[in-house]
Structure 1
């Protein structure tokens, strides 16, 4: 009788298991097949799929042909894993559970991929629950519970739980920061030093910094933050403004706004004198964010010097380019127009200044270049201050007066397709059809005429 033919068993299956393991290990030709079967089980949670072996050795081919009781075609094997139990039942090891045999072959239990995932998930849940117990502040509790519930706005936390080896330490730092948010404006490096012992501990390229920013975003959204407003900003702008919303400043010196003609007031109603002095000297101001943070209200320098908490509406002219700003100042400094220059982009200081102006009664008249970037900036203003912004010489007629001649490549033309606001969509279509940009300098005389005579802030 062949060693693979069925015999009447005199031992129970559990006593056959060590004998079977010893036998298979004594025949090296089985190793790759049994390893492949074990891997299939771990991957699928069952004996399924096909085990593929290439370049069979002479020993493997001889051993496996005896087991299968048939010759193998060439040096390759494609073996359906589900047949292993049937073949085993035709041997003297009939009655053995094939999975138990494979587990013993591997020296322990076979852990399926799903079981590993379940175990890892339990560990992650335990980690979050430990943090819940450690950080009782309501802000932390809300964020951690949302992470436990796998809510959509906690995706970064879910990802960090899987990929960040230092998740517990980084998340704890982020939670300490959320627990101790400042009540007055504070520079981020100073805040990070107090929280982490490292001024760079909450930098945006650090694990703790990324989680902290995500926590702030979660808190702002749950508190009713304007999602549409945030979507109008670039990633850098959104990040800086988010920190600023929670009284944290990344850079309060090099981040500045350029303006002319304003009087500024501090929290006690006291006028901040150098703003008025600059206007009277017909000098523009590059005001750093740290100084704008002191301001609670603004108004026309040409108005009364005393603090007026409820001003009438007044006109503020905003231009995109510094050259246009300077030319307008040359034309109208003696009229003390209220001017702001954005320098081709929105800095946090500009947003901080505009927010204070909007609260103080300002109506914004914005003029930008007739190109994709100029229209995108105009749209950001319209989305953020929908009842405060008036487009200033940004019509189709103004575009033709500015003499469009600068060709636009395909990448820039694609930006025009993103313009959705009704006030700008027609102009965007005209520029796209012409495939040429025009610039503010082409309508400088029209802009200069307007700043010399008051516009109606109510129209």
Structure 2
């Protein structure tokens, strides 16, 4: 090796050599830990130090005697000594000797902000806002905490769950087929016992106000209620007064029943394959009223017979057939107007129907409830009340009166609306 080469591979300068003494490594480790906390640091306590470590610290700081075995070192004094020896800062030295200096406080703040943002996103998601009862599910997700301690993993899982909920009720598909369609080909993502399946079933139990399923049989029953693996023939919806044009089976069955003044019981198989079907054209979109209880449909058919205005009944919680039929009607230009019971479950069903089909509330405001409850002040308790997205005052009014008003008690009012609609239909030539 030449002299020139020797000068390019030199030993560290005396100041650097002092800083790199093994006896000072405990100092740099402690300083590194304190600086990485992200909090202000003015002093660093060391120890216990052995005699050689105390001697090295005394040399570094220029002390005329050995420090205590557990000394407290002012960071300003250490900074002064390090700068004098190396021209670098303490932070630069510990980064070089120990590793990059972190910011644990800043990282905690970022994690806290990420968690807060996650739960704010979930609470404000369109699916949760459209069905306020799911706010309870969102709160339970927050109480359960992050999945695997990861905000990103939790958000992904919740986003998948919300996508599933938005697609329900299903279309009578087996669970793996439904999962593959909704979750980008992941056919087993909703298999029994998976985190996503558990999360969705908890949401469905909250939605239907039932206990979370405990057995495989209960879980299958809940999926079936949500239209997954639902039977094409046993899932039915009843309707009256529908007069769609077209040669499809659905249009012909609906017309024949309407002409006979009878309700049409339409299966999921009918509405999944509607064939040719159009609604009567007119200057205004055709109005289809939707009710929760079959008794209202029966009363309407008894009163109007073949002249009954278009009326669909969900029979409580709408199944796959009901939602599919209502969506078909909307696609053909219908304006859906929904009325249900004024009780806790009735409001949840209404929110569900409005969210899934785009229907508008029909006599479902706080004012409508107050007018009805005056004549029915001694009704049953309404049960658990959740918010009504279309009228925030409705839940407050129901809580104030603590009385349920079922549809049958306002049947006369609803039938008068239908009579007015029938008159409009006659004038427009639809009837």
What TM-score does the superposition give when structure 1 sets the normalisation length? 0.48
Q: Given that residues 236 and 266 in structure 2 are in contact (C-alpha distance below 8 angstroms), is that contact kept between their aligned partners in structure 1?
A: yes
Tell me what 2:78 maps to.
Answer: 84
What is the rounded CA distance, in whole Å, between the counterparts of 1:74 and 1:368 in structure 2? 79
The superposition leaves residues 156-178 of structure 1 with CA deviations (integer Å, 9 ceiling, x where unpaired) of: xxxxx98459x9xx9xxx9xxxx
- How many angstroms apart in 2 are the aligned matches of 1:442 and 1:455? 22
The RMSD of aligned alpha carbons is 5.7
Note the residue ranges of structure 2 that are not aligned, 5 or more in a row.
1-9, 108-149, 161-170, 198-206, 208-225
Q: Is the 8 A contact 1:318 1:342 kept in 2?
A: yes
Q: Is the contact made by 1:263 and 1:271 (CA closer than 8 Å) also made in structure 2? A: no
CA separation in 1, counterparts of 2:43 and 2:320?
A: 60
1:396 correspondence with 2:370: yes
Q: Structure 1 unaligned runs (5+)?
A: 1-11, 118-160, 175-184, 210-233, 235-248, 299-306
Question: TM-score when scaled to structure 2?
Answer: 0.51
Pair 1:347–1:361, CA change in 2 (3 A): same
1:440 aligns with 2:407: yes
Equivalences for residues 7-406 of structure 1 within 5 A: 14-16=12-14, 19-20=17-18, 22-23=20-21, 25=22, 27=23, 30-41=24-35, 49-50=41-42, 53=45, 56-57=47-48, 59=50, 62=54, 66=58, 69=63, 77=72, 79-88=73-82, 93=85, 95=87, 98-99=90-91, 101-106=93-98, 110=100, 163=152, 189=177, 192=180, 199-200=187-188, 251=228, 253=230, 258-261=237-240, 269-272=247-250, 273-275=252-254, 282=262, 284-285=264-265, 287-288=267-268, 291-295=270-274, 310=281, 316-321=288-293, 324-325=295-296, 328=299, 331=302, 335=306, 337=308, 338-345=310-317, 349-360=321-332, 362=334, 364-375=336-347, 390-391=362-363, 394=368, 396-406=370-380
Partner Cα distance (1:196, 1:308) in 2: 35
SS where residue 318 of structure 1 aligns?
A: strand
Pair 15,65 (structure 1): closer, same or farther in 2 beyond 3 Å: closer
Residues 21 and 105 in structure 1, CA contact (< 8 A), matched pair in contact too: no
Distance 1:435 1:33, change over 3 A: farther
SS of 2:79's equivalent in the other structure is: helix
Deviation at 1:369, TM superposition (A): 1.8
More strand by share: 1
8 Å CA contact retained: 1:332, 1:452: no
Q: Distance in 2 between matches of 1:451 and 1:331?
A: 13
In the TM superposition, what is the alpha-carbon distance from 1:34 to its structure 2 partner? 1.1
